[in-house]
Structure 1
Amino acid sequence: MLSSTLLTLLALTSATPLARSTTLTAQNLLTIAPSTSTCDPTADFATECRPATVAAPAIAKSFTTYTITTFGAQAALVSIILFESGNFKYSQNHFPAPGNPGQGTRNMQSPAFNAKYADDLAAKGVCGLTTEKVAAAKAQGPEKVLELVNTDSLGFASAAWFLRTQCGEGVEEGLAGATEEGYVAYLTECVGTTATEERIAGWKAVVALGQW
């Protein structure tokens, strides 16, 4: 006869669903964009490329840092990062050549927003940034400001920062349901870009996962 303790354990196991990861993983990114598995050292701007194994933990940490808790909102950020960085190949704007100096990070923020991002990071003392360092970079131009915020940890976090600080509360609420309507509103009302078929297709590939 089974002991009462073992019976209790069996009952709990059968009644409780297996825990599932709620953290973005490299495998999630590879499912969405298989090309993120590696970087081609011979490609143009190869030094900017990062594989999924680098991108995933940096993006996941940004969700925690900026309290982006719903899958829908997280999926929107993963989608825009993949699109804007060419599947993590670029961290600066290069196209059309010669690109827009100072525009970059993994969601290709404009120089003006990179300056705001740098100011916010400096105010919090993130990654050793100070108001003096940011002021000195600004005096040298937008490309120097981009250098401050374009490390792996900060560059992959900028999309979450932008959503948390530059978009209205209603935009994030709209993303929570992982609906196309909510994503289009995010693109057009906050990011300030067009909801093209390519962008929507990329977003659909992410939300198709259903969860991390």
Structure 2
Amino acid sequence: MLPSTLLPLLSLTATTLASPFKRNTTGGTITAQNLIDLAPSTATCDTTAQFGDECRTASIAAPAIAQSFTDYTVTSFGAQAALVSIMLFESGDFKYSRNHFPAPGRPGQGTRNMQSADFNALYAEDLAAKGTCGLTTAKVEAAKAEGPDAVLALVNTDRLGFASAAWFLRTQCTPAIEEGLAAATEDGYNAYLTECIGTTSTEDRIEGWKAVVALKEW
């Protein structure tokens, strides 16, 4: 992810509490089968493959993603679908949790939405401020002194790595972006990619997003 501009871990701001975003009125929660339907390769992992230790199956991903939606109050199906689509795209269907290509990859870039090192540092600082998963400011500062890969290691656990997309949406995107995602329109998703994520809207990204929103509900 290029720069632009869990466990109850957020102290919700008044802005968040007043969020106008359409809720997932079906009451559904994303399941492993939803992910497998979207990306059949998420059913299994080949631990003998290159970087096979980074692969996670749908059965691991689904509950972590569902928790992130709760933790960061991502309540509309449209916004949830956008986050799932970008994680599937950026992580190669959950096969990678850090940037490897072109080799050797960018230091410190990773998590399931492939956040840049700068954003991973912000993410770690935010988590430490709330004491999430035992992170402390001292640990984050020590990791920053060691280098961006050390910071990435702090936030690249299953629990936090699958939550970073929701954190990014909640902290780095404007309410207008999330409103566009909630409406599940292509224009809204394009705006998310180009104005918030800071990347190019490409055909393969759009096709992946369309597959997720076509589910209509979890």
| TM-score (normalizing by structure 1) | 0.90
- Say which of 185, 192, 196 aligns to 1:190: 196
1:207 lines up with 2:204 in the alignment? no
Q: Name the counterpart of 1:62.
A: 68
Deviation of 1:206 after TM superposition, in Å, equals 0.4
- Alignment map for 1:60-209 (pairs within 5 Å): 60-209=66-215
After the TM superposition, which of the residue ranges 170-179 and 19-28 deviates more from structure 2? 19-28
**1:156-195 deviation digits (Å, cap 9, x = unpaired):** 0000000000001100011001111100000000000001
Alignment of structure 1 residues 16-31 onto 2, 5 Å: 22-31=28-37
Which letter maps to 2:185? Answer: T
**Is 2:40 the counterpart of 1:34?**
yes
- Gaps in structure 1 of 5+ consecutive residues: 1-18
Residue 182 of structure 1 aligns with an amino acid whose one-letter code is: G
Q: 2:34 is aligned with what amino acid?
A: N
Write the deviation string for residues 35-68 of structure 1: whole angstroms up to 9, x where unpaired: 1000012211000000000000000000000000
1:40 partner SS: coil
Read off the aligned partner of 1:86 and give its amino acid letter: G
Residue 22 of structure 1: how far off its partner (Å): 1.1
CA distance in 2 between counterparts of 1:41 and 1:153 reads 20
CA apart distance, 1:101 = 1.0
Counting helix residues as a fraction of each chain, which structure ranks higher? 1
Give the paired residue count: 194
Question: Offset of 1:20 from its aligned partner?
Answer: 5.7
RMSD: 1.0
Q: Which runs of 5+ in 2 are unaligned?
A: 1-24
Secondary structure of 2:115's aligned partner: coil
For the residues of structure 2 that align with 1:148 and 1:42, how far apart are their CA atoms? 25
TM norm structure 2? 0.88
Q: Secondary structure at the match of 2:56?
A: coil
Equivalent-residue separation in structure 2 for 1:172 and 1:145 (angstroms): 28
Secondary structure of 1:88's counterpart equals coil
